[in-house]
Amino acid sequence: MREVRVFAPATVANVAVGFDILGFAINRPGDEIVARLNPAFSGVRITAITGTGDKVLPLDTEKNTAGVSAQRLLHHLGQPETGVELEIHKKMPFGSGLGSSAASAAGAAVAVNELLGAPLTREALLYFTVLGEEVADGSFHADNVAPCLVGGITLIRSNDSLDVHHLPVPNGLHVAVVHPEIEILTRDARAVLSDQVPLSVAIRQTGSLASFITALYTNDISLLGRSLHDHMIEPQRKQLITGFDDVKAAALQRGALGCSISGAGPSIFALCDSGYLAQAVGQGMQAAFQQHGVESQLYVSPINQRGVEILSVTD
Binding residues: 93-103
Distance between CA 256 and CA 269 in Å, rounded? 10
Establish whether 295 is a catalytic residue.
Answer: no
CB of 115 within 8 A of CB of 63?
Answer: no
Alpha-carbon Rg for the chain, nearest whole angstrom, is 19
CB of 176 within 8 A of CB of 251?
Answer: yes
Helix 122-137 to helix 100-115 angle, to the nearest 10 degrees? 140
Instruction: Kindly name the residue from 133, 134, 154, 234 that is annotated as catalytic.
Output: 133
Numbered residues of the known binding site for ATP: 93-103
Distance between CA 98 and CA 100 in Å, rounded? 6
Helix 65-76 to helix 100-115 angle, to the nearest 10 degrees? 30
What residues form DSSP beta bridges with 164? 156
Give alpha helix (H) positions in 83-241.
100-115, 122-137, 145-150, 186-191, 199-218, 221-227, 234-237
Instruction: Kindly name the residue from 11, 61, 154, 186 that is annotated as catalytic.
Output: 186
Establish whether 133 is a catalytic residue.
Answer: yes
CB of 177 within 8 A of CB of 301?
Answer: yes
CB of 149 within 8 A of CB of 168?
Answer: no
CB of 96 within 8 A of CB of 179?
Answer: yes
φ, ψ of residue 111 to 5 degrees: the values are -65, -45
Catalytic positions = 133, 186
